[in-house]
Amino acid sequence: MAAKKIITVFGATGAQGGSVAGALLKDCSFAVRAVTRDISKPAAVKLKEAGAELVSADLDNEKSLEAALGGAYAAFVVTNFWDHFSKEKEVKQGKMLADLCKRLGLQHVVYSGLENVNKLTGGKLDVSHFDSKGEVEEYFRDISCPMTSVRLAFYFENFLTDCKPQKSKDGKSYDLVIPMCDVPMDGISVSDLGPAVLSILKSPKDYIGKDVGLSAEKRTVAQYAEIMSKVSGKTIKDAKIPPEVYEKLPFPGAQEMANMFKFYLMIPNRDVALTHKLNPNTKSFQQWLEEMKAAFIKAL
């Protein structure tokens, strides 16, 4: 029997890479090489138990990346802006990976990209964690490395953490503080990424050279809040916060996030129909929240 083609999965202990590694391991068509900086951490050990080969590598260490990519047929590449908040660092990591994938002859890279907002808006708006990934997407193409960019929508999981509803002043209800006015916002559970990436890897000819915007559905903040109220039994409302107020909120990255929402307000850029074609089990927000009900109520 021919050996399975190896897919190197970056960020395999995290949300995106974890979803991709999980879907590939479940499907069994490919061999999974899971990358982490720490092969002893529980998420890495779990991957090994599920059948993945573990490789220790650091996005800042070229030699280690070379070992992680050597002999692989394809790779899923994700970099984590929020680890360092540096556009330059994310571009450097992404370009180094692109160069290595090209040099080592990988036949397909699925890159977790986003738009270069600065370029698209003629320098009017900077969203560093988008701009960096957009620059890397362009670099993959400049050097003719066969790549598909998957551009994820806002994760539903953000509603459990950084974007969870905030207790209102009267203490009786909650405000959903997302500056989208009445414009529908794309969303998806990051757990639905993996099966979509698997579909892309299985049909390289259809997707190499393309940007795939992934979204389960588009809903207004008022609609997200209504579904949250229905599922949790709590009163949750759209705070109706404008981006100009949001950007001054006292948390690290408030300006960056406000700029991201300003971009979301400008361009509807995710493909719901294609997402459901790539992953027919993609969950709606309500389905996802029903599954996560206990965690959501605990997070409030």
Query: Which spans of this chain sit near ligand NAP (rule: CB under 6 A)?
Result: 11-17, 36-38, 41, 58-60, 78-83, 129, 152, 154-155, 158
Minimum gap (Å) between residue 2 Cβ and ligand NAP:
30
- Pick the closer one to ligand NAP by CB: 46 or 234: 46
Q: What does the alpha-carbon distance between residue 292 and residue 89 come to, in Å, rounded to a whole number?
A: 34
Minimum gap (Å) between residue 44 Cβ and ligand NAP:
6
- Pick the closer one to ligand NAP by CB: 12 or 241: 12
**4 contacts: CB under 8 Å, gap ≥ 6:** 29, 30, 31
- Pick the closer one to ligand NAP by CB: 173 or 247: 247
Q: Among candidates 115, 183, 129, 191, which has minimal Cα distance to 156?
A: 191
- The DSSP output letter for 233 is S
What is the number of the residue whose Cβ is closest to ligand NAP? Answer: 14
- Pick the closer one to ligand NAP by CB: 42 or 171: 42
- Pick the closer one to ligand NAP by CB: 67 or 168: 67
Minimum gap (Å) between residue 247 Cβ and ligand NAP:
18
Minimum gap (Å) between residue 38 Cβ and ligand NAP:
6
- Pick the closer one to ligand NAP by CB: 17 or 238: 17
Give all strands of the β-sheet with 174-176 in edge-to-edge order. 166-167, 174-176, 236-238
Minimum gap (Å) between residue 157 Cβ and ligand NAP:
7
- Pick the closer one to ligand NAP by CB: 80 or 235: 80
**What three-state secondary structure class fits 186?**
strand
**258 contacts: CB under 8 Å, gap ≥ 6:** 179, 243, 244, 246, 247
Distance of alpha carbon 132 from its chain centroid, rounded? 14
- Pick the closer one to ligand NAP by CB: 160 or 168: 160
Minimum gap (Å) between residue 297 Cβ and ligand NAP:
21
Minimum gap (Å) between residue 172 Cβ and ligand NAP:
29
H helices present in 158-203, as ranges: 193-202
Q: What does the alpha-carbon distance between residue 82 and residue 95 come to, in Å, rounded to a whole number?
A: 18
Q: What does the alpha-carbon distance between residue 244 and residue 106 come to, in Å, rounded to a whole number?
A: 44
* Tokens matching residue 231: 């599922």
Minimum gap (Å) between residue 228 Cβ and ligand NAP:
17
**45 contacts: CB under 8 Å, gap ≥ 6:** 39
State the number of CA atoms in the 13 A half-sphere of 31 facing the CB.
12
